[in-house]
A and B are shown apart, each in its own frame.
Chain A
Amino acid sequence: MLELKNVTKKFNLTGALDDERIALDNISLAISPGEFVTIIGGNGSGKSTTLNIISGSLKPDSGIITLNGRDITKLKEYQRAAYFGRVFQDPMKGTAGDMSVLENLEIAYNRGRRHSPIKWGFSEKHKEYFINELKRFDLGLEDRLSQKVGVMSGGQRQALTLLMATMRNNPTYQMMRRDYILFSGLKEEDARKEFDQEFSSKKAILDEHIRTIKLDSSISKNDKKEMIRNAKDEFDRQIREKFDLTKQILLLDEHTAALDPKTAKKVLELTNKVVRENKMTTLMVTHNMKDALTYGDRLIMFHLGHIILDVKGKEKEKLSVEDLLKMFDEADKKAENE
């Protein structure tokens, strides 16, 4: 659960005291896990500011941001990176152009982990995983891992950034435990107890299972290996399903705005597919009202730093672009009258 509570942000561009522009005016917003939210609004309505405040690249003037009950307002941008995958409007921003596809992916894989100055940055195991993921993305990049990202098209770069933002980075059990204690929303002690109990009981089951497999003389050696591997994978999956809290939130800041319509559509479709497959909590800012209506299960409309519309489910399905435009005009008129 991601929550913004009474967040206000003012910009003072010229430095003059009376020239303050309010970007966000006392905004409160709660996003449930797994929700795909689309955000629309005119220029300067505060939609991008909201995303920047969530990701930590901007600090709110007042108000707090909580993630699963923990106050993360004071965390720096890079400290929050483990919990937010981001795709920017500018395709150049999300990837390092002078580095190869492989290097970019390795860096993304390491998101939220310690960057060891001794451990070699590449591994064959990762490479295999990247190739599989790239194939799933259908970009034709799986044979071009050593190519520099700088020579790729905007659409390809955006898709690559999307992969980097959504990649499951398989945190170690140690990391999962740490994050679960910090972010589960439970009391520290309870969270620790729950993790340790669950982990040790599951581990005991696994060990028992492996022992029976090993003792069973009717199974051939290769089959035994296979079965043990499957049992371990199953254990891993169960633990992750319950305790892996990282990387569940995707922040998309008009990530298709700089692309041509055809590529934009492709990237959007891809986004939708990935979000749905991974059940990711997603916030997508867009200029395009049609996209905002087509995708996602909740729609939020910003206007001059306020939320003027927040609909989900059936209510959202009923809306049309005309309705949105009408609301937009009304809000404009109201603001002018004031």
Chain B
Amino acid sequence: MEFLDFILNIFSSGLPCCLLALGIFLTYRLLDFADLTAEGSFLIGVSICGVMIFNGVNPWLATLVSVLGGAICGIITGVLNRLLNIPKLLSGIITMTATGSISMIIMGLQSGNSDIFAAQVSFTNLVTKGSPQQTIYSLFYPWEQVGDFYIVPNPWGDVIKIAVMLGVVILAMLIIYFFFGTKYGMAIRATGMNENMAKAQGINTTIATIVCIAISNALIALAGALVVQESKTASTISATGYLVIGLASIIVGETIFGKRSFKNWLISVSLGSIIYFTIVNIATRLGLRTELKSLLYAVLITIALCLPLIKSGIKHLIDKIKSKKVKEAI
């Protein structure tokens, strides 16, 4: 049972981050655009979805609106960069800064809290059968009536939650895969890889870039929406650290599973976040103290970034041993 818990834990935090990693991948890898909007659009996804669900809106609609919110963040960053010629990093930072306020406004209005730093939306105890505050997961729960209450038998709640997440992730991945295989998708990829060539091939690189950043941030906001429905709490700090997680997932995935083709690359990146959360969860199981978590993230990222180097080092070593053996044999 404990092992099952462990696995469920990994997936329930890892799967939303697949989308996050995919989103960051679209800008960071395909466009070569270090997009700091990511944490901002994640926060927008969290706050929009959180507030809408708190108010009893259909969870699918809430999710869709947060996706649109993320896309708008992306468009703003794209416009700042491409039309107003603000450097990439700065345009991301500008949007991210703005989303700080926007999300506080969205959530603050709800909680009616004067201290905006504590602005928080929570619907932890409110989700039961028949209550209007359903999440996309709870819609599918096999509710059981016990006296006056409805409960979800363990571990079915978690299993169904993960199944729904998996469904959303796979659907998003399929859409991304097919979109980037269409003519326009290829044009976007060419823009990111070689803008010179793209222009010479008649691609409007400005629009292509903005579209790609918008899709990226829409995915990140979708990740935010999945996370807030899982944690059932949204605050202004709920996005902190996710950019790093996304980046680490990309690099871990690429190093372990490769990037031979676009399909392979997409799958590698999303598996990367599962691997990442496996490591984090193992560390937590082994008794890692909460205050050391950030340190672990930092170490993990460093190792992930060095993995290609380590990989080639090991290869070199193996080659050396092999050639030595051959020499000895001679």
Interface of A with B (CB < 8 Å)? 55, 57, 76-79, 81-82, 84, 86, 88, 92-100, 103-104, 106-108, 110-122, 146, 164-165
Contacts and interface: CB of A to CB of B under 8 A. Distances in A.
A93 B194 contact: yes
B185 A121 contact: yes
Contact of B201 (A81, A88, A100, A119): A81
A96 B197 contact: yes
A111 B186 CA distance: 12
Given A78-B205, A99-B193, A94 B181 contact: no
B186 A116 contact: no
Residue of B194, B200, B261 contacting most chain A CB atoms (<10 Å): B200
B183 A94 contact: no
B17 to A, nearest CB: 24
B261 to A, nearest CB: 8
Given A92-B194, A97-B193, A55 B200 contact: yes
Interface string B309-326: 000000000000000000
A53 to B, nearest CB: 15
A78 B205 CA distance: 8
Contacts of A119: 182-183
Contacts of A82: 202
Contact of A79 (B179, B193, B202): B202
Contact of B186 (A79, A106, A114): A106
Interface string B177-218: 011011111110110011011111111110000000000000
Nearest to B186: A121
A73 B205 CA distance: 19
Given A94-B200, A99-B186, A99-B190, 19 more contacts: A76-B204, A78-B198, A78-B203, A78-B204, A79-B202, A81-B199, A81-B200, A88-B200, A94-B197, A96-B194, A97-B193, A99-B193, A100-B261, A110-B186, A110-B201, A115-B183, A115-B203, A116-B182, A121-B181
A121 B183 contact: yes
Contacts of B186: 99, 103, 106-107, 110, 115, 121
Contact of A108 (B182, B194, B201): B201
A86 B183 CA distance: 21
Chain B interface mostly = helix
Contacts of A76: 204
Contacts of B193: 96-99
Given A116-B182, A121-B183, A121-B186, A95 B202 contact: no
A106 B182 CA distance: 11
Given A118-B182, A121-B181, A107 B200 contact: no
A78 B202 contact: yes
Interface string B140-184: 000000000000000000000000000000000000001101111
B200 A86 contact: yes
A297 B178 CA distance: 47
A104 B193 CA distance: 11
A115 B187 contact: yes
A166 to B, nearest CB: 13
Closest 4 CB pairs between A and B? Answer: A81-B202, A117-B184, A96-B193, A115-B184
B196 A93 contact: yes
A118 B184 CA distance: 8
B240 to A, nearest CB: 32
A93 B195 CA distance: 9
14 contacts: A76-B204, A78-B198, A78-B202, A81-B200, A86-B200, A95-B197, A96-B190, A107-B187, A110-B202, A115-B187, A116-B183, A116-B184, A119-B183, A120-B178
A118 B182 CA distance: 6
Contacts of B204: 76, 78
A110 B183 contact: yes
Contact of B185 (A77, A81, A117): A117
Interface in B196-246: 196-205
A265 B12 CA distance: 60
Contacts of A99: 186, 189-190, 193
A323 to B, nearest CB: 35
B201 A117 contact: no
B199 to A, nearest CB: 5
Nearest to A161: B197
A117 B182 contact: yes
B204 to A, nearest CB: 5
A116 B181 CA distance: 11
Contacts of B196: 88, 93-94
Given A107-B190, A116-B182, A119-B183, A93 B197 contact: yes
A107 B192 CA distance: 13
A97 B261 CA distance: 12
Contacts of A107: 186-187, 190, 198, 201, 203
Given A99-B189, A107-B187, A120 B201 contact: no
A105 to B, nearest CB: 11
A164 B189 contact: no
A111 B190 CA distance: 12
Contacts of B194: 92-93, 95-97
A82 B193 CA distance: 20
A57 B197 CA distance: 12
A265 B267 CA distance: 43
Interface string B110-132: 00000000000000000000000
Contact of A117 (B179, B190, B198, B261): B179
Nearest to B205: A78
Most buried by B among A57, A98, A100: A98
Contacts of B201: 81, 107-108, 110-111, 164
Nearest to A86: B200
Nearest to A122: B181
A179 to B, nearest CB: 13
